[in-house]
Amino acid sequence: MAADRRIVIENCAIATVDANDTEHASGHVVVAGNRIESVGAGRAPEGLENVARRIDASGHLVTPGLVNTHHHFYQWITRGLATDHNLFNWLVALYPTWARIDEPMVYQAAQGSLAMMARGGVTTAMDHHYVFPRGSGDLSGAIIRAAREMGVRFTLARGSMDRSEKDGGLPPDFAVETLDGALTATEATVKEHHDASFDAMTQVAVAPCSPFSVSTELLRQGAELARRLGVRLHTHGSETVEEEQFCKELFGMGPTDYFESTGWLGEDVWMAHCVHMNDSDIAAFARTKTGVAHCPSSNARLAAGIARVPDMLAAGVPVGLGVDGTASNESGELHTELRNALLINRLGAHREAALNARQALRLGTYGGAQVLGRASEIGSLEPGKLADLVLWKLDTLAHASIADPVTALVFGAAAPVTASFVNGRQIVEDNRLLHADEDAIARSTRAEAQRLARIAVQG
């Protein structure tokens, strides 16, 4: 939409998720071009020029768009497998299949993953892709193309692995890269696709997979590469008890100390999971402003444990929410993670005081923006920020008798999305994607899942 064209949204409840958690029982949002022009109580200002559209949002809650901070898109075509495994056995079961992915599979899987998130209120997505079998094609390009077509804001965490079966790792030898190959390909991806501008739609992070599957040198040189190129760093950390034992046996220290020794703590770093963190680990993350992608459903699915999110937040650690790959969270929806984060954390030491509805919403919006390094641009509804926002319909049977709209959104059933905007452009209307054919994506992802299964059986 042209910069001087406006969309006016009125008569809605608003949760801005700004620094003061400002809310309006009945208010307005004015979008001008790709920016939020004004947010406030009551009707929009009179006399606005070039109003292209007015939306009567009665019965709705408007929030910032949801921000996903950890995912593995390719897993969309291996959902429903190894459903009763812990993390290690799950990886052993699935790596032989994942090692056979190719560009058409990855593109269709990315479409499926993005479609599911976008129709559920995600406006900024990320993908941590780290499986690059030899001869599999341009996988990074395929993922970025799918995100561009879907219309979501996107961060590709260009992953890598250089520790294969012959080195004591889990991936087959042909599914990993060499140290130099991984660094060279990652740098090329950053230079080709990363956009550092305020309203960037595509950004790239450097993202070696995990201590299990990468060498110390890949971690160290990956951190140096990211900082030379001015991009963020992402990996898995402290996900399981077994990872802690692995790090102590191999490196003589726990995961957090190991990461710090390789340059992997800092305000430009975020890590997925961080389930098994002691007080010293949390203090180190707080001191360095290292971020966390909390993935409650996946952690439960793989019996990894309950991350100490309330303690992290109290210490000042930036925390966002992640879907994680859909081989360990088959629904693939981030808005259900608002509820699951709240409920699962109440099973921990803090019980009913662990998280409340507004903290859960903040994790899924502003917290995610912090973790991705974009809190000045997205994550809250404030004048001057980018126009990424969602209209949640809360006047139906599922929510109408809940007086507080934020409570309805977080504690209630998954709310329908009447409209979702990214960069001022609408991508969802009445719970359906506007720029993608959901039925066609369902057919193509099923076909690619079946093709991958056949190839995996053939070996």
Cα separation, 116 vs 149, in Å, equals 14
For CA atoms 69, 160, 332, 281, give the dihedral sign.
negative
What is the DSSP annotation of 244-293?
Answer: HHHHHHHHSS-HHHHHHHTT--STTEEEEE--S--HHHHHHHHHHT-EEE
Name, in order, each residue with C-beta under 8 angstroms of 340's C-beta and a sequence gap of 6 or more.
Answer: 296, 297, 300
Domains of the chain, by residue range, sit at 6-64+380-433, 66-372
Select from 65, 67, 39 the least CA-distant residue to 426. Answer: 65
Tell me which amino acid residue 328 is. Answer: S
Eight-state DSSP code of residue 198:
T
Does 66-372 carry CATH code 3.20.20.70? no
DSSP codes joined into one string, 137-167:
--HHHHHHHHHHHHT-EEEEEEEE----GGG
pLDDT at 116: 98
Contacts of 205 (CB under 8 A, 6+ apart): 126, 155, 156, 157, 158, 226, 231, 232, 233, 234
- Statement: 6-64+380-433 belongs to CATH 3.40.190.10: no
Per-residue DSSP letters for 72-128?
-GGGGGGTTSSTT--HHHHHHHHHHHHTT--HHHHHHHHHHHHHHHHTTTEEEEEEE
Q: What are phi and psi of 283, to 5 degrees?
A: -60, -40
Q: What is the pLDDT of residue 27?
A: 98
* Whole-number pLDDT of residue 1: 63
CA distance 254 to 246: 8
Structure tokens that stand for 284 in this block:
């180190």
Q: What is the mean pLDDT of each run of 10 residues along the chain (459 residues)?
A: 86 98 98 98 95 97 99 98 94 94 98 98 98 96 98 98 87 90 98 98 97 94 98 96 88 95 98 97 98 98 97 98 97 97 97 98 98 98 98 98 98 97 98 97 98 93
Name the one residue in this structure whose structure tokens are 């000045």: 376
